Structure formats: structure tokens, C-alpha cells
Amino acid sequence: MSDSDISTPPASSFILRYGLAVSSVAAALFITYLLRPDALVSPIFFLAIILSAWFGGIGPGLVAALLATMAIAYFLHPQHSLRFADVPHLFVFFVSALLVSSWSATRKRAQNLLQQARDELEIKVQERTADLRQTNQQLQAEIAERSRVEEALREKAGLLDLTHDTVFVRDMNDVIRYWNRGAEELYGWKQAEAIGQVTHQLTQTMFPEQLKKINDELLNTGRWEGELEHTRRDGSKVRVASRWSLQRDEQGRPTAILETNNDITERKEAEDALQKTQAELMHVTRVTTMGELTASIAHEVNQPLAAVVTNGNAGLRWLAIQPPNLLEVRQAVERIINDGNRASAIIGRIRALVKKAPVRKDLVDINDVIHEVIALTGNELQRNRVSLVTQLSDALPLVLGDRIQLQQVILNLIINGVEAMSLLEEGPRELLIKAAKDDSNDLLVAVRDSGIGIQSANLEQLFDAFYTTKTDGMGMGLAICRSIIETHGGRLWATANSPCGAVFQFTLPATDSRVS
């Protein structure tokens, strides 16, 4: 209740309060009239004023003081002959009556306020106690719910232990929080040893691409899948198909990562063995082809070379006799020139044969060819930790050509790029394959790597047959690639990439047909 509420009581009590003032002064007047002792007039009236102010408030107190003063004036001089000498006496009484009335009303008011404050305090204490009781009940309910959830989690963890898959949970700093029995079996660390460790340090994870990219994908999509290589406690390597799932709290903030890993080491080893066999087969085929080519070149060229040597010797002999037979010498030199021309013609014929080898002319979608080669080289890229980016435009024109030969070109460029990057100890290993239309609406394919790069002086030399900087290289790859692309009516060239690496690009003439 406010202060103004106290000073403005309801109308019903108004009459009572002022009635009390009037009746108490009347009673005082009556008592004084009965007793009639002149000296005791004032105290009885003061009592009436105190009672009026105490129970009625300042207003009734004031009225009582006024009425009492008038009563005293009447009491002293009932014949209404008030003397001037009595005025100060009456004034002092009136002022005293006012002070007493005001003191009494103020005391009463203070007592009321005190009482009210006490009441309010009591109500507040009761409310607070009720609140605390409620909070206490809520807390107890929460604790019960939490124990239920923990129990459920324990049950789930028990289930996770039954699976042979590796399951662990790590927080956003990659610190392991949960490690199931499958993980203990696969990696060799017990739960107590693994929990609290940083997962990628513990298992020495090798990623197929930059960890930042993987984490970006995880944060954006909530999951990531890929193949990883881990090192077990005993130092042996294990390859796993890994699935990561991001856990969030009620506010949507990432809190943990659930990682499930399946051991695919055996499958991968079988795949690698198969791929190695395929590569060896490819190598053997190449060597065989090269061997056959070399043998036929040697056979064809050997004859004129032998004739050159024979004619050279004959020429020397004709020069040695006295006098030298210059006519014979001249004829020997002419035969040498003829043999030289024959050898050159043979080489020319073989080159023409290689170049004009009939090329299959199918309508080829270059994006399909690129995808097929990527599927072939997937393992190679992963093994060398190369991250691959493709930028393949839609609706590219089809090209007329030999699908297998075009695959061979792209495969060669990719493998060269990977080898150039695997020579680098550090730095990103990024391979970009791009297919687009060039300014003349022909097809342009580019393979860009971040490897060791090429000296600008060597840019053309790379395409020479037998040019290689690799210990086990043949130096035929780029020469064959250029020959294939030129046979298809296109152009193949190399440039340096910025800031590092190389770009190999080729064009192919577009047909009128379009990819729908």
C-alpha cells in the first residue's frame, strides 16, 4: 500500500473519524463541565485531541483542536464576554493542540507504515519461500532427467561396444571423448588411454585432401565421408572408410564429431595390386610397342647405314692410292649421300606411318572421358595426397575422335602432374582439370598442377621424343600426346603456372553436335 493510500481512507470511515473528533471533544467538554476545576481544563481536551488524531488522522485532529479551543473559550466565559487578556492563553492552547494533534497523527501514521512494511515483508518472504520450493522441485526434476539421459547414453554406448566398427566421439578441438571397443581392437589403444588424446595426433591421420576443406564441408553439411590412413599403436598402417557426423547443441552450436571407421585395408591392398598390375601391363605394352618400333627402325635404317660405312671406307681407299682416284671418290661420296637420303626417307615414312595411323572417329563427350580417367587415377591421387578440383562446363560441344587415345592424353597429363607434385616436400598438392570452350568455340582442356614447374627455356623441349628428367622415365609420353592431339586437328602446349607448377592445355575442334 502506498503513502497516499493511507492518507486517503475510504469515504465510509470519513464520517466515523470526524464523528470521533466531535464526540471526543464533546465528551471532554462534558467531563470538564462536571468537574469544574478551572486549572484542569486543558489536559482533558488534549486527551480528546490525541485520541481524535490517533484514530482519525491529521484532519480530525485539527477539527478536535479547533473545537476544543472554542469549547475552552465558551467554558471560561459562558456569557460570551471573552476578555482580551484570555486571547494569548487561547492562542497558546490552540497552537499546543495543533502540535499534539500533528504529533499524534504522525506517530499513528509511522506505526501504520511500519505495520504495512512488516506485512509486505512477510508476504515477500512467503512468496520467496514458494519460489525456492518451486526451483528446488524443478532442479530435482532436471537431475532426474539427466540421470535418465545418462543411463540411456550408457545403454547406447554399451550397444556401440557390441559393433565391430570403430566408433569414437571427439570434441571440436579433436580431443577424444568416447572410444568404443571396436576402436580399441582396430587401433590397439584402450579406452582409458585414448580418451583425452587428440585423435589425429594419436592415429597420425593421413587425409585425402586438406583438413581445412574437410572441416569446412563438415560444418556446412553436417557430415563428411572419405578414406583415411591411420597408424595403429604397433606402428602398422590401416586404411579406413571414414564417416564423420557433426553433433550440435540445442542452440545449434557444433559440440562434437561422431566418427565411424571401417577397416578397408585388405580391399585397398587388392585394388592397389590390381592397379599396379594394370600399370605394369600398360608399361609392358608401351615397351613392347617401343621395342617393335625400334627394331623395325633399326632394321630399315641399318641397311643404308651399313652402305654409308662401306662407301666411306671405299672412298678412303680410293683417296689413299697414288695418284688418288678422284672419280671413284666422287662416286663413293655420291652413294653416301644417296644412302643418307634413303635413311632419312625411311625415318620419314615411319613417322608418316605413326602419324597417319587410322584414328577411330567417334563422337566423344570430353567430360565423360575426363571422368573415366579420374576414376582410373583415383588411387594414385589419394596415395600422393593430391586434392583434385574439376571445372567442367556443361553443354560442351562433342568432338570427333578416338576415345581411348584421348583418355591416354589426359591420363598422361594427370600422371605427369601428380609426379611433379610428389617431388615437393611441402605446400599444397592441387590438381585442376578444366574443360571449356575457347574463343573460337573449340574445346579447350587444361590440366594445372602445383608441382615443381618447368623452366621457360624447356617448354618446347618437353615434347621431344626421349626427353625426360625422371630416372625411370621414357620421355615419350608428351611426344605421343602431342602427336595424338595434332592427329585430331588440335594443339597441345605447356606454360608455367603461377605461383608454382605447370599448365598443359590442348584444343580440339568442335563438331556441330552439342551435348544436350
Burial class (CB in 10 A: 0-12, 13-18, 19+), 485: buried
Least distance in angstroms from the C-beta of 377 to ligand ADP = 14
**Residue 218 or 479: which CB sits closer to ligand ADP?**
479
Least distance in angstroms from the C-beta of 502 to ligand ADP = 4
Which of 173-176's residues contact partners 24+ apart within 8 Å by CB, and which partners?
Answer: 173/198, 174/198, 174/199, 174/200, 174/257, 175/199, 176/202
Least distance in angstroms from the C-beta of 309 to ligand ADP = 33
**Residue 164 or 470: which CB sits closer to ligand ADP?**
470
CB neighbours of 482 closer than 8 A, spacing ≥ 6? 463, 492
Are 52 and 60 in contact, with CB atoms under 8 Å apart? yes
Q: Cell for 77?
A: 466565559
**Residue 378 or 475: which CB sits closer to ligand ADP?**
475
Are 463 and 516 in contact, with CB atoms under 8 Å apart? no
Q: Cell for 167?
A: 566408433
**Residue 301 or 465: which CB sits closer to ligand ADP?**
465
Burial 488-509 (b: 16+ CB within 10 A, else e): bebebebeebeebbbbbbbbbe
**Residue 106 or 294: which CB sits closer to ligand ADP?**
294
Least distance in angstroms from the C-beta of 474 to ligand ADP = 5
Least distance in angstroms from the C-beta of 417 to ligand ADP = 5
Least distance in angstroms from the C-beta of 210 to ligand ADP = 21
**Residue 63 or 478: which CB sits closer to ligand ADP?**
478
Helix (H) / strand (E) containing 243:
strand 237-248
Q: Which residues bind ligand ADP (CB under 6 A)?
A: 412, 416-417, 420, 449, 451-454, 462, 467-470, 473-479, 502
- Side chain identity at residue 102, one-letter code: S
Least distance in angstroms from the C-beta of 468 to ligand ADP = 3
Nearest residue to ligand ADP, using CB? 477
Are 325 and 360 in contact, with CB atoms under 8 Å apart? no
The secondary structure of residue 462, as a DSSP letter, is G
**Residue 126 or 456: which CB sits closer to ligand ADP?**
456
**Residue 318 or 467: which CB sits closer to ligand ADP?**
467
Least distance in angstroms from the C-beta of 275 to ligand ADP = 18
Least distance in angstroms from the C-beta of 291 to ligand ADP = 16
The secondary structure of residue 175, as a DSSP letter, is B
Least distance in angstroms from the C-beta of 457 to ligand ADP = 13
**Residue 57 or 417: which CB sits closer to ligand ADP?**
417
What span, in angstroms and rounded, lies between the C-alpha atoms of 183 and 195?
A: 11
Longest Cα–Cα distance in the chain: 196
Least distance in angstroms from the C-beta of 146 to ligand ADP = 59
**Residue 139 or 389: which CB sits closer to ligand ADP?**
389
**Residue 50 or 445: which CB sits closer to ligand ADP?**
445
Q: SS3 of 503, please? A: strand
User: What values do phi and psi take at 233, rounded to 5?
Assistant: -60, -35
Q: Cell for 145?
A: 532427467
What span, in angstroms and rounded, lies between the C-alpha atoms of 51 and 105?
A: 9
User: What values do phi and psi take at 45, rounded to 5?
Assistant: -65, -40
DSSP class per residue in 182-216: HHHHHH---HHHHTTSBHHHHTT-B-SS-HHHHHH
